[in-house]
Amino acid sequence: MSVNTDKAGRTDAPPPGTAPETIKAVPVRHYGRWISAVVVLGLLGLIGKAFSEADIRYEAVPDFLTDSSVIDGLFMTVWISVLAMAVGLVLGIVLAVMRLSKNPVTSSVAWGYIWFFRGTPVYVQLLLWFNLALVFPIINLGFYKDEMSDFMTPFMAALLGLGLNEAAYMSEIVRAGIQSVDEGQTEASHALGMSHGKTLRRVVLPQAMRVIVPPTGNEFLNMLKTSSLAAGACQYTELLRSTSNIGNTTGAVVEMLALAVVWYLVLTSIFSVGQYYLERHYAKGSQRSLPQTPLQRITVNLKSLGRPSGGAA
């Protein structure tokens, strides 16, 4: 059996001494790029000028940037977003599998769930959870029994409201991901004697992740911001609530909004980078070589800077 044809090749390198003449051509001039850059810079300048001349004391922003109540709020925002997203992801996978199930009862239940939670405003859902004691004054789960008003803390209401709503959206994303995987994969797995569950966990979901991760990143960034609704609906003190509290007591209302904007941008930036690495992880095997990480790209660029271009040997 001849298997080493892969290592052949490499005969097309130019013979030494006859280095090919490098092409020196006049590059195409991209005038449009220059013009649009000037227009964009001009517009940014105008907006910046308007904001700098506005009656906003920007000095107040750094003063409160790391104020302990702001940091607390920041932590609460991240905490509720991560937890609600985890609830959404797990329940979303369950719902997606139910929705694709051959069992008409399970698939209708999933359909109904998605229909309700996608069809109503999340703000209303948060209000309903927070005021659940009006419907069920006592919570009794068999192993756990309590006054509903004690159980349904602002945190609990925010978690249920945001997480259950998210699950409806996530289930549609997961379903799209599962359906994107070639049926031959399921068949091959079943033919090996793997059960439905193992096939889903080991074969289908890892491949579906490539389709699932990008929109899930979107959902998470949305969640970071949507979590601010939990302040109004169920008294959950997250980032926006804690900054506007400061704004109300110090009178620096707009300044504190600017501060919140800064923190939201920092959060979304950090999580976007995380998403990039997650996507890279799930690209494993789908491309011949993995794309470079930003760090690798920088080091490669730096190294090539140190080398004289043209490479005269």
Partner 1 sequence: MTAMVKAEGVHKSFGAAHVLKGIDLEVAPREVFCLVGPSGSGKSTFLRCINHLEQINAGRLYVDGNLVGYRQKGDKLFELKDREVAAQRRDIGMVFQRFNLFPHMTAIENVMEAPVQVKGETKAVARERAQRLLDRVGLADKAGNYPSQLSGGQQQRVAIARALAMEPKLMLFDEPTSALDPELVGDVLDVMRGLAEDGMTMIVVTHEMGFAREVGDSLVFMDDGVVVESGHPRDVLTNPQQDRTKAFLSKVL
Judged by the rule CB under 8 A, the positions of this chain that interact with partner 1 are 1-3, 6, 182, 184-185, 187-196, 198, 202-203, 206-207, 282, 284-288
Closer of 114 and 209 to partner 1 (Cβ): 209
Closer Cβ to partner 1, 57 or 202, answer by number: 202
Nearer to partner 1, 188 or 298 (CB): 188
**Which lies closer to partner 1 via its Cβ, residue 4 or residue 18?**
4
Q: Residue 235, SS3?
A: coil
Give CA–CA dist 79/44, Å, rounded.
34
C-alpha to C-alpha distance for 147 and 170, rounded to whole angstroms: 31
Q: How far is the CB of 111 from partner 1 (least distance, A)?
A: 23
Kindly state the smallest distance separating residue 278's Cβ from partner 1, in Å. 14
Q: How far is the CB of 289 from partner 1 (least distance, A)?
A: 9
Q: Measure Cα distances from 123 to 224, 234, 235 in Å.
A: 15, 10, 12
State whether residue 15 is helix, strand or coil: coil
Q: How far is the CB of 180 from partner 1 (least distance, A)?
A: 13
The minimum distance between CB 6 and partner 1, in angstroms, equals 8
CB nearer to partner 1: pick between 146 and 187: 187
Residue 132, both tokens: 């659940």
Q: Can you count the helices (H) and strands (E) in the chain?
A: 14, 2
CA dihedral over 95, 224, 161, 116, signed as positive or negative: negative
Tokens of 71: 């940091």
